[in-house]
Amino acid sequence: MKVLVAIDDSEVSRKAVAFAGKLLGPRSTHDYDVTLFHVCESLPEFILSRSAGGDAGNAFRQVADEWAQTGRILGEKLLEEQALTLTAAGVSPAKVNIRLCQKESRPESRRVVAALAIIEEMKQGKYDLVVIGRRGNSASIESFIGGVAEKVAREARGCALCIVD
């Protein structure tokens, strides 16, 4: 069984990882592989290329590059921490994979970009089970535009989907 656990840095994502740990822990009778998946963002190149020239443009690009690098570092740390959560629950470390996906997005479209990245991974990885938190870091706006979990649920075909709240 192939399991995808999509996470961000939210309490409900921690609950999703804990649920996966209980499901796949030492009492599990299934042969499985679990992938922890996190999406981090960077500014699109077309925005960076439109920045002012000279020192201001160079400073803007440097800030954008540092922001993207920080996102990668924090994402890697989050994945490593949650992998430890799984192993503490009894999941074999050899069965845990971590995957960081960096996507270009504007700040206002990051939820859509994250959902699309999860959907792409879900389909390409041919997972049997997808575990995702219902409300991540963007809980306050989700009721207005729809959340990542809702978008993933609409596209989940051929696999089981567990939405943790």
Alpha-carbon span 160 to 25, nearest angstrom: 19
pLDDT of 156 higher than 60: yes
The average pLDDT across 25-40 equals 88
Any idea which of 36-40, 104-108, 150-154, 156-160 has the lowest mean pLDDT?
A: 104-108
Residue 136 pLDDT exceeds 60:
no
Q: Where are the domains of the chain?
A: 2-164
- Confidence check: pLDDT of 38 > 90: yes
Q: For 87-116, how does the pLDDT look when each residue is reduced to its tens digit (9 = 90+)? A: 999 999 999 999 999 998 776 677 888 999
Q: What is the pLDDT of residue 51?
A: 61
Given a contact cutoff of 8 angstroms between Cβ atoms, the answer to whether 123 and 73 are in contact is: no
Whether CATH 3.40.50.620 fits 2-164: yes
Between 60 and 99, name the one with better pLDDT: 99
pLDDT for position 64: 80
Distance CA 24, CA 58 (A): 48
- 158-165: average pLDDT: 91
Q: How far apart are CA 20 and CA 138, in angstroms?
A: 22
